[in-house]
Structure 1
Amino acid sequence: MTKSYLPDYCFVNHPMTGEVVKVEKGKVGYYETDCNTSAKEMNASINVTSQQAEAMLTGCLCGWENPDLNIKL
């Protein structure tokens, strides 16, 4: 079994609105938040890199079956 180097969740800026949303690993779509800080700051507080957040955004929008999402980032 391949070890996933993606976090269980992270925060990203919605590609259309720019609002901060929460993405959960393996789930399609996102969850709205009421964050008053940036996605980058929120991710830093939970030790999520920008590369991991970008991969998570790709997964939630394009599908989690892409093997490139589980590479060590």
Structure 2
Amino acid sequence: MLLARRLIAHASATIFTPCHRRSDMDEPIDLPARRVALRIAALPEMCATTLPSTHEAIVIKRGEAGHWPIPDDMTIERVNALFGATPAHVAAMLVGSMFGWNVPGADPGRYDADGRPRRT
């Protein structure tokens, strides 16, 4: 658990502004937004993978745009085991962090156990 806290602190210390914040919490959320919020909440807090364009090891935070470099003393496998991230979670979180958490590709249900897109 100490490693998880340190990883969270590392990712939080980088310069990044949280993406969407609701300022009017009294206003009801529409149904599609509620579905997206529930889908995001079901994902692990963080996961790690390689950035497709550079093959750099990165950390992705649930619900936030962008990514962070992985700490030097951590590995992708260790981060994913620590947070319980499956290959389907990792694939969905990579898409969400790059293209938005409301796109269909940010749903881990659209991936098989190996993180490959399911055929429909």
% identical aligned pairs: 25
From the two aligned structures, give the one with the greater helix fraction: 2
Q: Who is 1:27 aligned against?
A: 64
**What's the C-alpha RMSD, in Å, of the aligned pairs?**
2.2
1:15–1:36 Cα change, 3 Å: farther
**Does structure 1 residue 40 correspond to structure 2 residue 71?**
no
Larger Rg: 2
Number of equivalenced pairs: 73
Higher RCO by CA contacts (8 Å cutoff, separation 6 or greater): 1
SS at match of 1:12: strand
Letter in 1 for 2:65: V
In the superposition, the TM-score normalised over structure 1's length comes to 0.75
CA contact (8 A) 1:20 1:35 kept: no
Instruction: Write the deviation string for residues 1-59 of structure 1: whole angstroms up to 9, x where unpaired.
Output: 44332111110111111121010112111001234564234312321100000000000
Residue 4 of structure 2 aligns with which residue?
none
Deviates most, 8-17 or 52-61? 8-17
Which aligned segments of 4 or more residues in structure 1 are displaced greater than 6 angstroms? none
Q: Is 1:49 paired with 2:86?
A: yes
Gaps of 5+ in 2: 1-33, 112-120
Higher share in strand: 1
Query: Aligned partner of 1:32: which letter?
Result: P
Gaps of 5+ in 1: none
Give the whole-Å Cα distance in 2 for the aligned partners of 1:36 and 1:13. Answer: 16
Please give the TM-score of this superposition, normalised by the length of structure 2. Answer: 0.50
